[in-house]
Every structure is written in C-alpha cells, then in structure tokens.
Amino acid sequence: MMSVKAFAGRILLAIVVLPALPLTAGAQGTSAASIAGVVTDASGGVLPGVTIEASSPVLIEKVRTTVTNDRGEYRIIELRPGTYTVSLTMPGFASFKREGIELPPSFTATVNAELRVGGIEESVTVSGATPLVDTQNVTRQTVLPKALLDAVPTGKTLLSFYALTPALQSPTNAQDVGGSKGETSSRASLHGSKQGDTKMMLDGMSFNWFEGEGSGRTFFVNALTAQEIVVDTPSGSTSAEYTSNGVVINVIPKDGGNRFSGTLFAAGTDHNLQADNLTAALQAQGTRTTSGIRSVYDLNAVVAGPMIKDKVWFMSAHRRWGRRERIANLFHDSVLNDPYFTPDYNQPGEPAEDLRSDNVRVTWQANQKNKINVFYEWQWNNQANNFAYLNAGVASMESGNPYCNRPQLLMGTWTDTASNKLLFEGGVLLNDSWQNTFTHACAGIPTNRLYKDTTLPFSFNGNGPSQTDSGQRPFKQRFSMSYVTGTHHFKVGMAAEESLPRMTTTDRGPTPYTYSFRAGVPISLTEYASPVLTGEVKIRSDLGVFAQDQWTVHRLTFNLGLRYEYHRTKADPIDTLAGPLVDAHSLPGLDCIPCWHDLDPRLGVVWDVFGDGKTAVKANLGR
C-alpha cells in the first residue's frame, strides 16, 4: 500500500494545471448512440449502395463508414456522444452533407436524405436542428452533460446526480444541498422501481458490491472525469442488457486527446453561511446545539494529453473532498470506562467525512479498428457517520459505526469495429475494497467496551472490543457482439459477476463481552464467540446471457429481447480458531443458497407517427 500511495503522491505533485479544454469521451458500453435513416432520390425511390460517413472529433478513428442496403436504409452504431457530420456520396448524384448533429448517449438520431442527380463534385450542405425525438429506442434516460456538471453548483456526488434527474426519488434523509450529505450511499427509485435495484456503472461496467440486493458501493466516482453521466430511468424492462428494472447510472469517462489539457475545481464552505435555528423555545426543552454543516471542501484536478500522438493518450485525476457536520445535542463522553455517560458540553459531536482518490486512465488505439482502455483508481475513504447512525440518536461519538474503506478499482475495456456491420466489445473489472480497524480505526473507539444503559436511547463508551479486517472483491466481465443491417440491429452478449475469495477476521480481545446498565447499575452482559474467521458468502457465478434485435418496419421499430439469468450462491467450509469462550471448530460449506435459473423476455415498440422523426409513441413490456 505504501508504494501505491507514494506513486499517487508523485503523480499529484507532477500536475501542472493548464487552461481547461474539452476532452474526448470514452467508450460507453451500454450507452452508445446511433445514426440511422433512409436515402431516396427525387422521385422517392430508395437508393441502395450509397456511401455514408459519420465524422466527429470525438471519434478516435475520425470517420465511421457504411453503405445503404437494398431498401436504401443504413445504420451506424456504437458512436460516442458528441457533434457529428453525416456525408452521403454516390456516383451520378450530388453529394449530401448534414452538419451539427448532436448525439447524446443511447440515442438514435434519424437522418434521412434525398439525393438529386448531378456530378459528385456538386454538394448540398444542410445545417439544421439536431433530431430531438428518438423514434427507434424505447429507453428513457436523462443525460447530464459536462457543461451542466461544470455549470451547476452541486456537490459533484451521487446525490447531486439524483437532484438533476427529473422525477427521481431518493430517501428523505438523503436530501443534499451543495454537498451537505457527502457521499452517502443512497439508492433511488423512479416510476415505482425498487431502490435496491439501483446500479452504478463506469464506462458500462458495474462496480456495485453484492450487498444491499447488489446495489451497495464503496467506490465513489469523480464527476470531473466524466464527459457525461447517463441516468437510465429505468431501462431494465426495455433492454435485455440489464438484469433489473431499477435506476442505472452510467458514468462515461473522458479520454485524453492530442492536446495537453487540464481542469482544476475547488469549492468549500463553513458554518457561517448557514442559519442557526437554536431558538429560546428549543433551549427551554434542553436543546444545546442544532444540526448543521461545519465545513465542506472539494479540491479536484484533472490533467490529460497524448503519450504517443494519434496512438496513446492518458488522463489522470486527483481529488480530496469531505465535510464535517454537527449533530443536534450530541456530545463526547467526558469520562470513559465508567458506567455513566457524562456529556462534555465543550465538545459537541461533529463527525467528519474525509475522502481521497487518485486515478489514471490510458487509451491505446491499437489500429484503426481496435481500441483498448485501462483504468486504475485508488481511494482512501473515512466516514465517521456511516448510514447516519449518529443522526438517528442510537450511538455516541465513541460508539459509532464508521466506514473506513480502501477501494482499489482496476478496469479494462476493448472495442473492435470489425466492419461497418460487425462490432465486438468487452470489459473486465475488479473492485478490491477492504477495511481494517486493527491498523486504522477512522472513528469510534473499537478497543473500548460498548456500554448500554436502559435509561438512555444510545450506546456509549466505545464500539468494541471489536476489531475487524473485512472486505469484498467483486470481479465482473462483459462481452457483446453487434451486427447491423439497414432494418436490423442485432446484439448478443453476456455479463458475469463473482465474488473472489476474501476472508473476514473479527477479534473481540481477551474479554469478549459488553455491559448493560440501568442508571449505572449493571444488569447484564453479552458474551461473544471470538475470534471469528469467516469466508464471505460467494456468488459463483452470477451469469446473464442476452440476445436482442431492433427491427424497423416502415414507421414501426420493434425492440425484441430475451435474457437468461443463472445465479448460484455458496459458502465455503471454514475452520475457526479457539478463543476465550469457545473452542476451535469447523463449519461445513453450503452450496446453492440459493441457485436459480430465470428467463426474462423484453418487448418494446416505437411508432414514428407522421414519419418525420418528430413524434413518437412508445410502449414496452418485460420482466
């Protein structure tokens, strides 16, 4: 760990902040865009064999090419979000060019064209409004572009993404104002979806833990490294690529470009910008302090550029951010290791959240068709008020439930544009996240005994004796193949997830028990088996295989999909060491807790009502 920290520190010291310049968006995985349409002549007859070129600065290969089929139809898929120019050429006809087409993620822009007879040196250029209605995809989403993320004064956290998404509902205790809630691990729902189905993705790769119905997270994304953030709201019942029908958040990262560029973001506040509502009436009821923000800070730097021009690019980001809050009527215990809680009114409870991240992303254009991205990020996250336990009034500062996670995320993605009809893509991700209160207790006092008193609503004195070394290691893979004709966009693929082995050790010391009192008089004690050595319940494997087709028939586009799911969970056998109150013993393994197979059909239909790409009616059905 020390070598990684030293390396990250050297990178940070080497940053030279340059004028902020736009960077190129990376591959999207499940959030790529498309351009499609029909080419006709002046009489309305379809034109097969027309060469179509889509060019944009965001394409590393600069130009993507295809030709119309025998029905005059074409489709260019897996395009990065950005501004495009579409050019059409055919011998015997004047060339046609459509400029300024803005493509958001997961959007199919309909660009129809009419070619007139003429020399190929003649050209017709059209600069018009970007298509606003997707007449082929059923997907509903909100796109948070870089310009919005930069301009709106939000906390640059998950909760701020929720706040910018219309109709999205987050828990009432997770309403964020300017970063006041920090990196609270919060789920969201929309149109009746389950909060536990919320999924987080980076470049199309999920980085959730398996806890919390598979929606838990300890890794926090850096919004300054995102070109766009796509919130699918929701898409599970419309696309066979997703396993659930919950909110899916996909962070589309930037690549480096052929120019060196940098961005610096700094923000902060203190308690002086927040009103104090400690009234005389509240004081008369015994209130001494009220809840509020004491400080919020965020220092974020991104630098990017070429390593080898037109071949290898890099982007590196470094961030320090956090907050400190005061909790109403919460105070430190002035006398420890006695059966009474004695509040120290000179030390109000002010738990802190301090986070840091350092990452690097390298993009390699191996050849005109193949591109590889490698990403690594190391984080150091201390959260003294995990899940707002202290706000709930169930623990003192000394007996809180902190989060002291050290996630390391390593990811690689690959795309291969084999031809203008065939595309392959894949990716792997490992999220090695752990915490160790033996070596670093970021809050509470894990070596102090936890006390409870029936006359008090909270525990006090410590949150032990209990020291733990725990974590998870989700390993995830995806692969897909897309084949395109003028009327069909066929896609097959798979996604697999498994939990790599990771032991958990909990040690409660030579006296593994806690006390309970009534007004300072001991009434009971709770004994614990210690030490405890466990292997986490393993998911081997969580497999999804899907096939889907987008089929256009005149003004109707059918989105047809089928997804097969296999889930297997097991616990390995384990040997536990002897302790003060228990002998050494062995626990047998258990398989299929549970094991199941599932088959999920997905059906959607889009009707281009007037055939002009301006009005669409959409419907979908799935499970």
Ordered mean pLDDT values, 10 residues apiece, the chain (623 residues): 38 33 40 86 91 86 86 86 90 90 84 83 65 77 81 82 82 74 78 80 86 75 87 67 81 85 92 88 92 93 93 95 94 94 95 95 90 95 85 90 90 90 92 89 88 94 90 91 86 90 87 93 93 70 88 88 89 86 88 88 89 83 79
Domains of the chain: 25-127 (2.60.40.1120), 139-254 (2.170.130.10)
Please give the Cα distance from 376 to 398 (Å, whole number).
Answer: 35
Please give the Cα distance from 570 to 258 (Å, whole number).
Answer: 49
CA distance to 23, 181, 289, per residue, from 396 (Å):
46, 20, 15
Rg over CA atoms, the chain:
28
Cis status, amide bond into 34, omega within 30 of 0: no
* Pair 435, 410: CB distance under 8 Å: no
Please give the Cα distance from 324 to 181 (Å, whole number).
Answer: 10
Chain-centre distance for alpha carbon 45: 46
Burial class (CB in 10 A: 0-12, 13-18, 19+), 521: exposed
Predicted confidence at residue 25, as pLDDT, reads: 39
Please give the Cα distance from 208 to 45 (Å, whole number).
Answer: 51
The SS3 call for residue 11 is helix
CA distance to 115, 213, 218, 220, 440, per residue, from 379 (Å):
55, 24, 9, 8, 15
Please give the Cα distance from 293 to 270 (Å, whole number).
Answer: 7
Q: What are the residues whose beta carbons fall under 8 Å from the beta carbon of 586, sequence distance 6 or more?
A: 573, 574, 575, 576
| pLDDT tens readout for residues 187-217 | 788 777 777 788 888 988 888 887 666 677 8
pTM of the model: 0.84
Q: What is the 3-state secondary structure (H, E, C) of 520-589?
A: CEEEEEEECCCCEEEECCEEEEEEEEEEEEEEEECCEEEEEEEEEEEEEEEECCEEECCCCCCCCEEECC
Length of the chain, in residues: 623
Please report, as a single letter, which amino acid is at residue 336.
L
Predicted confidence at residue 236, as pLDDT, reads: 47
The DSSP H or E segment spanning 283 is: helix 280-284
Complete DSSP assignment for 426-471: EEEEEEEEEEETTT---SS-TTSBPEEETTSSSBBS-SBS-EEEEE
Please give the Cα distance from 572 to 584 (Å, whole number).
Answer: 17
DSSP 48: T
Predicted confidence at residue 196, as pLDDT, reads: 77
Sheet with 51-55: strands ordered across: 63-67, 51-55, 82-89, 95-103, 123-127
CA distance to 14, 326, 353, 394, 437, per residue, from 464 (Å):
42, 24, 21, 15, 11
Structure-derived torsion over alpha carbons of residues 447, 451, 456, 457, reported in degrees to the nearest 10: 60
Please give the Cα distance from 246 to 50 (Å, whole number).
Answer: 41
